[in-house]
Structure formats: C-alpha cells, structure tokens
Amino acid sequence: MKEKLEAIKAAAVNAVKNAADEKQIEELRVAYLGKKGELTAILKQMGGLSPEERPKMGQLVNEAKSYVEGLVSKKREEIKQKATELKLKAETIDITMPAKKRETGKLHPLNTVLDDMIDIFQSMGFDVLDGPEVETDHYNFECLNVPADHPARDMQDTFYLGENLILRTQTSAAQIRTMETRKPPIRIICPGRVFRADEVDATHSPVFHQIEGLVVDKGITMCDLKGVLEQFAREIYGPDTEVKFRPSFFPFTEPSVEVDVTCSECGGKGCRVCKGSGWIEILGAGMVHPNVLRMCGIDPEVYSGFAFGIGLDRLTTTRYKISDIRLLFENDKRFLEQF
C-alpha cells in the first residue's frame, strides 16, 4: 500500500506540473483529492491493515494529500498570474502612438444660415414660433384670403392628405394661428419646412424651407417693412447691399412686393448668376390684407401690419454661391465638409 501511495503521489505531482489552465487543475484536484479521488480511495482501504500499521499509513496518506493540495493551489495561482499578465500585455496602451482622429459633426449650411437669420430678427425684437406641417385648408388658404378657385389650391401645387388636410404650402399659416391667439403688438418669425408638388431640378424641390415674418401694431407702414428688410439684407449679404422693391401680387397682402438685393457675385454690375441684371430676388412681402386681419379678429381700422416670406434654401444658395439646390438635400459629405 505504501508503494501504491508513492506511485499515486508521483503521478499527481507530474500531472499538476504539466497542467495548462484552471480547468485542468480542477479536474486533477477532483481526480486525486475528491470524494472518489485516488488518495481518498487509499484511506478507504486502510480497514485491511493491522491496528499497528493504520496510524502510520494514515499519517503518510494525509501528508501526501496535503502535499498535493499545496501543489494544486500553487499551480492555480501561477496560472491566474500568467493569465493576468497576458491580459495586461494585450491591453497595454502605447502613449507615444499618434491619437486617432475622431470625426465631429458640423452644422448643415441651411442650419448655419437659419441660425444667423434668427439672431438678426431676434435682435430686432422678433419672437421665434413654430407651426404644424400638416395644416387644414382653413389656416393654409381660407384665412389667408385665398379663394377656393385660386390656382394655388390646385392639386398640382398642393399635397392633399384628406378632404380638409394638406401638407402646408407656406409658413404663412403660422400668421393666422398667432393672430388668433395673440393680441397686437405682434412681432414674430416662423421658420419651417413647406411642401409643394414641384418637379425636382436645380432650383426647385417638393420640400423646401421658408421663414415667415409678421408684424402687427398701430401705425405700421411700408416704411417699417422696408427698414426691417434692408437691415436684414445688409446683415446677411454685407453692409453695402442695396434693396429694391418691385410691385407684385399675393392674396394675403396689399400692396405686395417682390424684394431684390444687389447680386453678391458681381456687386450689382451684372453677371451670369444674376443674368446680367445686377439683382437677385430673395423674398416676397407686403402689408397684411385687411381681410386677413378681420378674419383673425383684429380690427383693420385700428391695426395694420406687414408680412414677408423668405426662402431659406434660395438664401443659402445665393450666400454660398451654390449652383444647385439639390446639393443641400443629398447629404454628400464631400459637399457638406466645405462648410
């Protein structure tokens, strides 16, 4: 039995030394020291020994078990230490390596121009409001003095969602909602997306952006409108920019005007961009029609006002000399990184 014990001990020592991972170590512990392990089995065989031999043999077995347990524990710690070292080596950071460049987002040119415009009008005392993109016929047309047979209400221009629901064709609908809920004085701008059934080309898109402006108070005149728009144009295009009003027609303003500014490309001398005229159209405006004020519960005998609608997309393309409006919506990084 003593020789058998020595053989088991020697085999256990050799196996533990050659163990490669914690799983093997645990398997060896169970094989030699577990309830059914080989060293435990030796103890169970001691019943066949004489009373004199049992204590000596029991001591030898316990010493062998203690020795193997020590080897198993030591080997387990070695394996853990080695695994930790390998992990730390794999996770080592070389602080001398150049840093990886992280891409950062930038404002879209439309948002840059919009932020500038908001700053300009807020500095003149305008509030910034929003309105729903899905509008009713009432707010988008009727209250803006657009009769039922007006060409703008034809389905080729307007996206109809139902009998009385449309995608707004202009941010002017926000005027009506504001005048219905606020008492004069009113001074607001409303930026947002608008929708029209246009063919996509270099200057048109079925989805584009407008900024609606409205001022209503006692004694408001065309001079006030001209002053506001001149200040706005010079802030956007430069201090030497000239502004020209041309007579026009809009159902919701009377009188109505188209507003031109001197071409930023040639300074008014005439070029390809302005088609030789020296002027570029940027917006439509006018005095709020008395019928519009009346439908919103505002007495046109007491109050007057002006309104203007600015095409943000056109303003952006003229400011940055962009030749095709589609570039603003295609999300081409090569184009956007220029801004």
The reported pLDDT for the residue numbered 113 is 93
In a domain, 95, yes or no: no
Instruction: Indicate whether 132 belongs to any domain.
Output: yes
d(Cα 113, Cα 33) in Å, to the nearest integer? Answer: 79
Task: Write 120-128 long-range contacts (CB < 8 A, 24+).
Answer: 120/231, 120/232, 120/235, 120/236, 121/189, 121/213, 121/232, 124/187, 124/228, 124/231, 125/187, 126/187, 126/188, 126/189, 126/213, 127/187, 127/188, 127/189, 128/188, 128/189, 128/190, 128/191
By mean pLDDT, which of 97-106, 183-192, 305-314 is the weakest? 97-106
Measured CA to CA, the distance from residue 161 to residue 168 in angstroms comes to 11
Task: Please check whether residues 118 and 232 belong to one and the same domain.
Answer: yes
Q: Of the ranges 73-82, 168-177, 215-224, which one carries the lowest mean pLDDT score? A: 73-82
| Reported confidence tier of residue 48, pLDDT bands at 50, 70, 90 | low
Other Cβ atoms less than 10 A from the Cβ of 91: the count is 7
* CA gap 182, 337 in Å, rounded: 42
Phi, psi of 159, deg, nearest 5: -90, 110
State the total domains in the chain.
2
Cα 101 to Cα 98, 104, 297, distances in angstroms:
9, 9, 59
- 137 and 216 co-located in one domain: yes
- Tens digits of per-residue pLDDT, 220-244? 999 999 999 999 999 988 888 889 9
Domain identity same for 198 and 226: yes
Do 122 and 225 lie in one domain? The reply is yes
Identify the CA nearest to 169 among candidates 208, 111, 130.
Answer: 208
Of 90, 118, 142, the domain-final residue? 90
pLDDT band at 321 (very low <50, low <70, confident <90, very high): confident
Answer whether residue 52 is part of any domain: yes
Assign residue 290 the CATH number of its domain: 3.30.930.10
Q: What is the pLDDT of residue 155?
A: 60
Region of poorest pLDDT, from 73-77, 222-226, 249-253:
73-77
Are 177 and 55 found together in one domain? no
Domain span at 27 = 2-90
Residue 101 domain flag: no
Residues 76 and 114 in one domain: no
How many Å apart are CA 37 and CA 18, to the nearest integer?
Answer: 19
Query: What are the pLDDT digits (tens) for 1-19?
Result: 667 767 777 877 788 788 8
Nearest alpha carbon to residue 121 among 235, 219, 208: 235
Q: Which residue has the higher pLDDT, 38 or 115?
A: 115
Segment among 48-62, 197-211, 302-316, 322-336 with least mean pLDDT = 48-62
- Domain end (from 90, 124, 156): 90
Q: What distance in Å separates the CA atoms of residue 86 and residue 82, rounded to the nearest whole number?
A: 6
Same domain, 205 and 153: yes
Mean residue pLDDT across the chain: 86
Whether 254 is in a domain gets the answer: yes
Query: Does residue 312 sit in the same domain as residue 217?
Result: yes
Same domain (yes/no): 200, 77: no
CB 307 within 8 A of CB 252: yes
Same domain, 193 and 247: yes
Task: Quote the CA–CA distance of 108 and 102 in Å, as a whole number.
Answer: 19
* Final residue of a structural domain among 90, 120, 140: 90
26 inside domain: yes
For residue 97, is it within any domain? Answer: no
Apex 209 CA angle, 137 and 151, nearest 5: 40
Cα–Cα nearest to 195, from 220, 231, 227, 160: 160
Q: Tell me which range, 81-90, 147-156, 284-293, is most confidently predicted by mean pLDDT.
A: 284-293
Same domain, 81 and 216: no
Same domain, 64 and 140: no
φ, ψ (nearest 5 deg) of residue 194: -135, 165
CA angle 11/16/18 to nearest 5° reads 100
Closest by Cα among 122, 144, 154 to 251: 144
Helices (H), 101-172: 109-123, 137-140
Strand 279-288 to 253-262 pairing: antiparallel
Residue corresponding to tokens 């039995």: 1
Helix (H, G, I), strand (E, B) or coil at 286: strand
> pTM of the entire structure?
0.67
Determine, yes or no, domain membership for 152.
yes
